[in-house]
């Protein structure tokens, strides 16, 4: 009985850590997309040139969440990311 309870507590701890790690990866992707979006429309010509060179990364990361263009609003990008996260949580239950 003690072995079963300790195993259960270890598994619950691992589950919490995994959920926090997944949440962190979504937050990092959101930050990347919003940063790149800001660079695309910056007044600084150097930032615009650099962002033009990495536009494929924006498309690659954004496509995972249904963000296909840097013209989408920041709110729309955030909503797409968190809807994807919510769908992942819903499908894992």
| Closest alpha carbon to 65 in 46, 49, 85 | 85
Gap between the Cα atoms of 8 and 79, Å rounded: 35
Under DSSP, is residue 68 helix (H, G, I), strand (E, B) or coil?
coil
Number of domains in the chain: 1
Instruction: Count Cα neighbours of 2 within 13 Å in the Cβ-side half-sphere.
Output: 0
Under DSSP, is residue 73 helix (H, G, I), strand (E, B) or coil?
coil
Q: Read off the pTM.
A: 0.69
Question: Which domain range does residue 46 map to?
Answer: 27-92
In a domain, 88, yes or no: yes
Are the C-beta atoms of residues 56 and 27 closer than 8 Å to each other?
no
Gap between the Cα atoms of 66 and 86, Å rounded: 14
In a domain, 17, yes or no: no
In a domain, 56, yes or no: yes
In a domain, 9, yes or no: no
In a domain, 10, yes or no: no
pLDDT in tens, the chain (93 residues): 555 555 555 445 555 555 566 778 888 889 999 999 998 988 999 988 988 888 888 888 999 899 988 888 989 999 998 898 888 877 655
In a domain, 16, yes or no: no
């Amino acid at each position: 009985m003690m072995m079963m309870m300790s195993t259960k507590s270890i598994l619950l701890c691992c589950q919490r850590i995994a959920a926090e790690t997944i949440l962190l990866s979504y937050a990092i992707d959101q930050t990347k997309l919003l940063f790149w979006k800001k660079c695309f429309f910056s007044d600084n010509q150097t930032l615009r040139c650099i962002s033009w060179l990495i536009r494929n990364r924006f498309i690659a990361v954004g496509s995972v969440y249904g963000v296909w263009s840097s013209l989408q609003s920041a709110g729309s990008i955030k909503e797409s990311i968190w809807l994807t996260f919510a769908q992942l949580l819903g499908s894992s239950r």
